[in-house]
Structure 1
Amino acid sequence: METTYCDRCGEPTGTGTHDSCRAARQLEPPRFCTHCRRRMKVQVVPTGWTATCAEHGTLAAH
């Protein structure tokens, strides 16, 4: 079974509840890749954001 990680705190999703992470993610972009736990390069603009993992590519919200 592959471990997935919280995109806000970077900890494994199987540990803790991550309720505060889910609440914060309503207002802010992800910070960690859910596949490899790498810190992502995040750019926030007035119309949205992009978050890029060097290994797994880019997520975007506009």
Structure 2
Amino acid sequence: MDLYCDHCGGLSDDGDHGACQSAREMEPPRYCAKCRRRMTVQVTPTGWSARCSQHGLTAA
């Protein structure tokens, strides 16, 4: 289970993240869900990639 919301960076079990989940259908993650660090995000016409300095690459 992830500790943090990958859209807003808040604690995943603190409050309602329904709006974050809706936004994530169209947007890449902005925060690492494991450590809450802001990620470097690159969006391309065919997908996206996000890199955490501690946990590496996530892509879709």
Q: Give TM class, smaller chain.
A: over 0.9
CA–CA distance in structure 2, aligned partners of residues 35 and 50 of structure 1: 16
Provide the aligned length of Structure 1 versus Structure 2: 60
* Residue 53 (str. 1) matches residue 52 (str. 2): yes
Larger radius of gyration between Structure 1 and Structure 2: 1
Provide TM-score, normalisation by structure 2: 0.96
What TM-score results when the alignment is normalised by the length of structure 1? 0.93
Equivalent residue number for residue 8 of structure 2: 9
Q: Where does the alignment leave 5 or more consecutive residues of structure 2 unmatched?
A: none
RMSD over equivalenced CA pairs, Å = 1.4
Q: State the 1:17 CA deviation.
A: 1.2
* Partner deviation per Cα, 1:24-43 (whole Å, 9 max, x = no partner): 00000000000000000000
